Amino acid sequence: MANTIKSGSTKRLTGIAVFSAIIILLTLFATFVKFGPVSITLALIPIVVGAAAYGMFAGAFLGCVFGAAVLVMCIFGWDVGGNILWVANPPVTALLCLIKGGAAGFLSGAVYILIAKKSSDIGAALAAIICPVTNSGIFCLAMVLFYNDTLLAWAGDTPALTYMIFGLVGINFITELFINVILSPVIARILKIKAII
């Protein structure tokens, strides 16, 4: 019994570590994948799958790993827009990166747990929707509350709300949402079939 618990715990920690490494790699890779001024967040897929496999607290941890990787990119200027936010307000940018990632992972896991009791496929699909909605939603809210001057400067002559929806996050959000909804449930199903998670 003790060996089974230890084996399960080791498997869980190993799985979370593997997802963390994938998140870091995908976050770094995303600096090269852009539609408009913001990078496409490919790392949301392993956050959703990890949250579905290991629960909402693991999802929150994986989201914070993503947030920490984004923060490093902001600090070093690998994410140009993020670097502008970092220079404008370092403490808020650090909290924003960690909170939006952690919340996206936590809520993905919570939604999956709630819905998967009836249908794991629908649970995975809804978790895949919640993750980018939370990530982008918190980012947009922070732009309005803490970076309004930067938002207005970026928008130029365009109304700020229009710019935020169609320029800043619009295409990126739709792309992230589409990729997540298509791939996360498929990957989660494959991993369960192979008993990897």
Least confident of 14-23, 95-104, 109-118, 177-186: 177-186
Q: According to the model, what pLDDT value does residue 30 have?
A: 72
pLDDT band at 65 (very low <50, low <70, confident <90, very high): very high
Is pLDDT at 123 greater than 70 in this prediction?
yes
Q: Phi and psi of 184, rounded to 5°?
A: -60, -50
d(CA 111, CA 131): 10
pTM of the predicted model as reported, rounded to 2 decimal places: 0.85
Indicate the SS3 state at residue 35.
strand
pLDDT, mean of residues 66-70: 96
Domains of the chain in sequence order: 2-193 (1.10.1760.20)
Q: Kindly state the average pLDDT of the residues 74-94.
A: 93
Say if residues 124 and 188 touch (Cβ distance below 8 Å): yes
